[in-house]
A and B are shown apart, each in its own frame.
Chain A
Amino acid sequence: MSSNTPSSSAGGVGSADSAAPRRNSKRPKYSKFTQQELPACKPILTPRWVISAFMLVSIVFIPIGVVSLFASRDVVEIIDRYETECVPENLRNNKVSFIQSDANKTCTRKLRVKKLMKQPIYVYYQLDNFYQNHRRYVKSRSDSQLKDNSSWNDVSSCKPEDMSNGQAIVPCGLIAWSLFNDTYNFSLNNQQLEVNKRGISWKSDRDSKFGNDVFPRNFQNGTLIGGKTLDPTVPLSKQEDLIVWMRTAALPTFRKLYGKIERDLQANETIHVTLENNYNTYSFNGKKKLVLSTTSWLGGKNDFLGIAYLTVGGLCFFLALSFTVVYLLKPRRLGDPSYLSWNRNPGGH
C-alpha cells in the first residue's frame, strides 16, 4: 500500500534532506522514446507530392496495363458450349431425364482453330452455376482419409456421403461423389490427338495430400450415383482428375484442367471432339463448356487486369491533371495562419 507514496521511510523532520536521494530514484529515465521525442518525419500532403504520386501511378500503371492486355490478347482460346447441343433435339424438352437415362450420350463436336496455338495447349472443362463453394459441399470431404490409408474409416466430416451399405466410402464426401465425368477424345485429321492427363494436378497435392497407398473403396456403390467412378486398383495419388476436382473453386463459374495437348495447332485446322456427355448440369441449368487455351506469363485469357490497370492509370492521370489545373487556377498557400479563425480576430481571446 505504501509502495507508491514518494517516501514511506524518511523521517518527517528530515524530509528536506531525504528529498535528495529520492530525486534520483524517482526521476524517470530520459530517453527519446519515453519523452515521445523520437525523430520523426512528418510528411504532409503538398500539391506537388500528391500530384506527382498520382502521376507516377499513372505512368507505371498504363504501360503495365498495355502489356497485360497484350498478354491476354495473345492467348488463343477456343470455347465450345455443348450442354444443349449434345442432347438429341427431340429430348431437349426434358434434358434431366435424358441425362439420367442409359441412352447413348456420345456426341461429336467440331472445333476450328482460328489462330496458331502453340503447345502446350490446355484443355479445360468449364462449369457455370455450379456452387463448389457451397458450404455443405465444400466441407464434405475427409483430408485425413485421402492422405493416409490407415484412417480410411475417418468419414465423420463427409456427411451425407460418408457410408454406403454400412461401409465407409473412400474417397468420401460430396465433392468426390460428384466428380465430373464427361470425357473428351480429340482427333485431328482423323488422327488421334494425344491429350496428356498426367501432371494436370498440383504436384504438392499428389505428393502430400493424396496417399499413394489409398485406393478407392466402396465408391459410387450407393443408390444414388453422383459422378465418375474410380478405378479401385489405382491409388488416389494417381487419380489426377479427382485431385483436380477436389481443389474446390471459389466461384460458381470455374474451369478445371482436363489435360494438355502437347503439340502446336495450326490456324484453320479443325479438331473433332468425341465427348461423352454424362454429367448432369441440367437440373440446375448449368452450362458446360470445353475450353482449349494457351497461356501467357499472366495466365489464361483474362482482360480484366489489363483494363483495370488502364482505367486506374487513366483515372490517376486525370486526377493528377485536374489537381494541377486547380492548383494553378486557385493556388492556396498552405498553412496560412489567417485560416485560423482565432487569428482573424486578434482581440478575440
Chain B
Amino acid sequence: MKRYVYINDDESSHELFCDNRISNRKYTVLNFLPKNLWEQFSRFMNQYFLLIACLQLWSLITPVNPASTWGPLIFIFAVSASKEAWDDYNRHLSDKKANEKPVWVVRQGIRKHIQAQDIHVGNIVWLRENDEVPCDLVLIGTSDPQGLCYVETSALDGEIDLKTRVIPAACMGIDFELLHKIKGVIECPNPDKDIRRFDANLRLFPPFIDNDVCPLTIKNTILQSCYLRNTEWACGVAVYTGNETKLGMSRGIPEPKLTAMDAMIDKLTGAIFVFQIVVVMVLGIAGNVWKDTEARKQWYVLYPLEGPWYELLVIPLRFELLCSIMIPISIKVGWLGDDQFLYLKSKVSLDLVKSLYAKFIDWDSEMIDYETGIPSHATNTAISEDLGQVEYIMTDKTGTLTENIMIFRRCCISGVFYGNEGGDALKDTKLLNAVAGSSPDVVQFLTVMAICNTVIPIKSKTGAILYKAQSQDEDALVNAAAQLHMVYVNKNANILEIRCNGSVIKYEVLETLEFTSDRKRMSVVVKDCQNGKIVLLSKGADEAILPYAYAGQQTRTFIEAVEQYAQLGLRTLCLAWRELKEDEYQEWSLMFKEASSTLVDREWRIAEVCQRLEHDFEVLGVTAIEDRLQDGVPETIETLRKAGINFWMLTGDKQNTAIQIALSCNFISPEPKGQLLLIDGKTEDEVCRSLERVLLTMRITSSEPKDVAFVVDGWALEIALKHYRKAFTELAILSRTAICCRVTPSQKAQLVELLKSCDYRTLAIGDGGNDVRMIQQADIGVGISGREGLQAARAADYSIGKFRFLKRLILVHGRYSYNRTAFLSQYSFYKSLVICFIQIFFSFISGVSGTSLFNSVSLMAYNVFYTSVPVLVSVLDKDLSEGTVMQHPQILFYCQAGRLLNPSTFAGWFGRSLFHAIVVFVITIHAYAYEKSEMEELSMVALSGCIWLQAFVVALETNSFTILQHLAIWGNLVAFYVINWIISAIPASGMYTIMFRLCRQPSYWITMFLIVAAGMGPVLALKYFRYTYRPSKINTLQQAERMGGPILSLGNIEPQPRSIEKEVSPLSITQPKSRSPVYEPLLSDSPNSSRRSLGPGTPFDFFQSQSRLSSSYSRNCKDN
C-alpha cells in the first residue's frame, strides 16, 4: 500500500513505477476497428439490428435491397466510430503535446532539458513561473525565502483562486545549489484520486538533515496540470507520474444518467418488440399455411414439392425483416455506454435534439449571471427532459440560497452586545469607543478575529492589503477586525504582524489546528513575540466551543447571544482563547507531530490530539456574520413549490440559522400556516419516539393545505437512517418540505439516495465541495458556479450562476425538453408503425408471401429523411409561452406525472398509426384498382399518402409555427416530390418515370386529398372535441394565452420583499414543551393534494392519477 520514492536515485525506480507518458487513448491504429466495433456491438439491440442486417443479405428472404438497412446502419456506426476516432485522435494529440513538452530535470546532478514523458519517479523537476506541472511533485524548494509558492489548480478542481503551497519543514533553507544533490526517501501511499489528501513522510539523508521524519500533506505538493504562478521558480520530487497522478487516477468516465423518459421509451420499445414478434409469428404461420394450401395451386409460382429443410422458416423470417422497421431506425442504433438491457437511444434524431436542448440552455441570455458574466452550461446533454420531471429539489444553503458574501454584523464580547441597534457592529459607537479605549477584552477578541485563521495578507501595488482566504467567514472576520483597527498586516513565514491602534505586534505561529467539519472549530497556537507567552486561539461553532469553557465561566450570555443571532439568520462563531504553559505546549507538540506524520487515519488522529489541547477555554465572545439571500430566491422557491416540487434544505449550518433562512426564503411558512416538526434526540429511543410522533402528525395533516415541514439534525438523521429507515422513508414521502441541518456531505448523498430509491426524480443543487457527492448522486445535479469554487459546478450536470435561474431551467428548459421529446419519440414510433402496418396489410393481398410494397430506396428515405426532417424542428415548438408557464407553474405537473409520454398516450399514437395505415391502404388499393394496379405506381401512391399524412400530423401537433417549422414541414413535402422526380428520371431505377406519370394523373391528386381528408378529419375532430370540451390544463392555458384572457390576475406571484429583520418573532418550532400538537383540519383542494390523489378531470386524468397513486403505493412499499 505504500511506495518509497528515493529522491534523485536514477536507477532504482525505473522498473518499479511507470514513466510520465500520459496516455488517454482508448484505441491504437491497429485495434481501432475491432475494438470499436466490439464496443458498439456489445449492446443487445445493436446485435439485434446486426442480425437483421445479416439476414437481409440472404436474398431468399430479404424483402428489399439490403442497402436499405445496411446503409443507415453503416452510416450510423460510421458516424459514431468516426466521432470516437476523432476524439481519440485529439486525445492522442494533446497527450503527445504534453508528453513532449520540455522540462528541466536533474539527471546525475546536472539540470537537463528533457521531454516530459521521460520524467521518472524520484526525479527532481524544476519549474518556472507559469509552467504547467508535468506530474505530481513534492515541493522541495522555491524562489520564495519562506518556501511558499502559488499554484493555480483550475484544471484540477476548477477553482480559479491561487493556492499557496509550502515546502516541507525539512527542506526549509536548503541552498539553491544543494537542491541538485539532495537525497532522501519519501514514503507515500499508492496512487489514488483524492486531490485533497496526501499523507506522506519525507526523510532526507545526511548530510542534509538528521534522520528526522517530516510529515507531508497536500500543501507540500503541486499536482499535475496545475500552473505555477507568482513564483519565480520551484522544484519538486516526482512522486506520481504518467497515468498514476492524482489527475490521471481521477479521470474516468462518469456513469451515464438515464432519464425517466428514456426508461419509458425503453419500455415502449420492448412492447413494440413483443408486438412485432407476435405479428411475425402469426403472419409466418399464416404464410406457411397459405403456401401449402393455395400457393401450390398457383402453378405460375412453381413451388417445388420438396423444399429445403429451412423452408418453414423462410416466410416468418421474411416478415421479421419486413417488420423490423417497426422500431424506428433513427431511434434504434445506439446506446453507447449503458450496461443495462437498454436499446434505445437515437443516435440520429434523439441525440441531436437532446444536444440542441443543451445548447439552448447554454445560449439562454436570461440565464447569464451578469455579475460574473458566467452563462449557464449543460455539461450533461442527455438529461434535459428529466429537468421537467423533477419532484424533489435538495438544496444546499450557503452559497446556493445565499450569496455567500459574508458581512460581519454583530458581536457579543464578554456579555456586551454590539451592533444590536444599527444592525452593524462596525458602526456601533460603543464598540468603536471600546476599541479606542483598548479595552482588554475587546482587544483580545479582535486579535482572535484577526489571526485565528489561515488567511494570507497580500500587499497590492497600491499598498492596500488584500486578504486571500479560503473561507468566506474568515475573510469577513479579518476584514472586520481590520476596520476595527486591528489590521493583519503581514505574514512572514511563521511570523504574523498585526497593527493595533498604531503599534505593531508580532506573533509567531507555532501550530495551526485546521478546521474540519467534524471538529467544527479551528485553532492556532501562537507565541507572542513581545512577552513569549504561548496562547491557543480558537474559533468555532458554539457547540464546539462553549462546552469546553473552563469551569466556572458563565456561558449563559453567549448561549443567549448565539440563539438571538441565529434567530436573525446570522451565522455565529464563538471565539475563545487559553494561555498555554511552555511545557504543556512542548509535550503536546510532540504528540501533534507524531499524529501528523501518521499515514493511517491521520485526520482522526490529529482530531484526537487537538482535542487534548482545546479545552478549558476562556470564551471571549460571539461573532455574527450575515450571509444575504440571493436575489429572487423566495420567488423561485415559491414558484417551484407551486409547480409541485418538494424542497429539502440540506445544510451543515445550525438549526436556528437554517430555519431562519428557510423562513425568509419562503421555504416554510410562518405560523399559523406553517408548522415545523422537530425530530431530535441523542439516543435511538429518543429519535424513534420523536420520529413516530412526527410521522403521526404528518399522516393527520397530509390532507391539509398546511405547510408542514420537518426539521432534523445530522445526529438524529444518522440514527434515523440507520435504524428507522422505513419510518423515515414514509416521512420523506409525506413531507413536502424538510430541513436537515448539521448534515455531512455523505448524509446529503444518503438522503438523495433515499428519495431516489422511492422512485422520485431528484435534483440536487449546491455550490461547494461538500455538495459534490449529493450532486453526483441525484438524478440531476445542478452546480452553482459561486464563490466556493467550481468544484460543484464541475461535478454537476448543469451549472448555473444563480439560484434563481433554477426556475427557468426547470420550468422553461426542462418542460419544453420533456414536451418535445415526448412528441418526438412517439412520433418516431408512429411513422414507423404506419409504414409497417401498410406492409402487413399488403401481405394479406400478396399471398402472405412477404412481398414488400415499398422499394428499398423509398423505405430508406422514408425513415432517414422524409419523416425525420419535419420532426426535428419540433425542438422549436412551444406549447405555452414562457411567461404563461412562469405564471402557472402548476402546469409542470403534466411533465412530472409523465402525462405526455406513457403507455396510454402511446396507445393513442399506436391507434392513430393503425388508422392512418388503414386509410392509406384502403384508399390506395381501391383508387388504384384494375388497370391501374401497377406495383410501382401503387407503392408510390401509398408512400406519398403516408408523407402527406405525416406532414399534416406534424402540423396538427405543432403548437407554434415559426418560419423554420413551416419550411421543414411543407418544404419536406416539396422535397419529397423533388427527390422522387429526380429518382424517376434515372432510367436504371425501378421507379423510372413513375413519379412523372403519377403527377400527371388527376386521380393521383384526388387520391392524395382524399387520404388527407379521411386521415386527418377524425383526428382533428377528436382533438377539437377534447380541446374544447375536455381541455387539459395545458389546453386551457393555451386558449387563455392566445385569446388574451385575464390569466395574469390570478396566478400572479408578487415578489415579496422580505427582510430578515422583520420576521424575528413568528418562529416557533414544535419544541419539546408542546409535544402533542393538534391541528384543525382544513378542507382544501390544493394542487399539491390533488397531485397525489385523484384530480378532477377527464377519464384520462383519472387513469393517470390512478397509476400515479398506485405507483406511490408501490413506492411506499419499496423499502420493505
Contact = CB atoms under 8 A, between A and B. Distances in A.
Contacts of B923: 308
B890 A44 contact: no
A239 interface: no
B373 A136 contact: no
Contacts of B12: none
Contacts of A253: 929-930, 933
Given A27-B368, A135-B851, A50 B935 contact: no
A250 B938 contact: yes
Nearest to B364: A35
19 contacts: A7-B160, A13-B468, A35-B363, A39-B963, A40-B960, A50-B1020, A50-B1021, A208-B992, A227-B300, A255-B931, A299-B1001, A302-B930, A304-B929, A305-B1003, A330-B1029, A335-B1045, A342-B890, A343-B1051, A345-B1084
B300 A6 contact: no
B849 to A, nearest CB: 4
Contacts of A249: 933-935
Contacts of B1014: 308, 312
A309 B927 CA distance: 11
A341 to B, nearest CB: 6
B155 A251 contact: no
Nearest to B993: A204
B1108 to A, nearest CB: 15
Nearest to B882: A36
Interface in A21-66: 22-24, 26-30, 33-36, 38-45, 47, 50, 53-54, 57, 61, 64
Contact of B1090 (A20, A285, A341): A341
A22 B374 CA distance: 8
Contacts, number: 349
Given A68-B1006, A337-B1046, 4 more contacts: A12-B161, A204-B987, A308-B923, A349-B1086
Contact of B890 (A22, A157, A202, A340): A340
**Max chain A C-beta neighbours (<10 A), residue from B997, B1001, B1086:** B1086
Interface stretch (B500-508, B861-869, B1033-1041): B1033-1041
Interface in A296-334: 297-300, 302, 304-305, 308-309, 312, 315-316, 319, 323, 326, 330, 332, 334
Contact of B230 (A4, A11, A20, A250): A11
B152 interface: yes
A208 B642 CA distance: 70
B229 interface: yes
A339 B1031 contact: yes
Given A174-B300, A334-B1028, A341 B1096 contact: yes
A35 B376 CA distance: 13
Interface string A246-262: 01111111111100000
A340 B929 contact: no
B155 A1 contact: yes
A165 interface: no
Contacts of B845: 133, 251-252
Contact of A337 (B59, B928, B1040): B1040
Interface string B269-293: 0000000000000000000000000
B1017 A315 contact: yes
Contacts of A20: 373
Interface in B1016-1073: 1017, 1020-1021, 1023-1024, 1027-1029, 1031, 1033, 1036-1043, 1045-1047, 1050-1051
Contacts of B964: 33, 38
Interface of B: 59, 63, 150, 152, 154-155, 158, 160-162, 225, 227, 229-230, 247, 294-295, 297-304, 318, 359-360, 362-366, 368, 372-375, 377, 379, 458, 460, 466, 468, 641-642, 705, 785, 790, 794, 816, 842, 845-847, 849-851, 853, 876, 878, 888, 890, 923, 925-935, 938-939, 959-965, 987, 990, 992-993, 997, 1001-1003, 1006-1007, 1009-1010, 1013-1014, 1017, 1020-1021, 1023-1024, 1027-1029, 1031, 1033, 1036-1043, 1045-1047, 1050-1051, 1084-1088, 1090, 1095-1097
A191 interface: no
Given A8-B154, A304-B926, A334 B961 contact: no
Given A40-B960, A50-B1024, A253-B930, A347 B1084 contact: yes
B1031 A22 contact: no
A312 B1095 contact: no
Contacts of B1095: 341
Contacts of A120: none
A236 B539 CA distance: 104
Contacts of B301: 131, 134, 136-137, 174
A91 interface: no
A283 B297 contact: yes
B375 A54 contact: no
B1050 to A, nearest CB: 5
A196 to B, nearest CB: 17
B374 A340 contact: no
Nearest to A308: B1010
A33 B162 CA distance: 39
A172 to B, nearest CB: 13
Q: How large is the interface on A (under 10, 10 to 19, 20 to 34, 35 or more residues)?
A: 35 or more
B993 A298 contact: no
Contacts of B368: 27-28
Contacts of A28: 362-365, 368, 375
A298 B961 contact: no
A35 B359 CA distance: 10
Given A11-B162, A35-B364, A251-B929, A339 B1036 contact: yes
B294 A345 contact: no
A88 interface: no
A150 to B, nearest CB: 15
Contacts of B1036: 335-337, 339-340
A305 to B, nearest CB: 5
Contacts of B299: 178, 280, 283-284
B298 A131 contact: yes
Contacts of B785: 6
Contacts of B302: 136, 160-161, 174, 224
A2 B153 CA distance: 10
A191 to B, nearest CB: 27
Given A312-B1017, A335-B1041, A348-B1086, A136 B303 contact: yes
A45 B1023 contact: yes
A35 B881 CA distance: 13
B158 A334 contact: no
Smallest CB-CB A-B distances: 7 pairs: A23-B373, A335-B1040, A335-B1039, A12-B162, A178-B300, A348-B1086, A34-B363
A298 B888 CA distance: 55
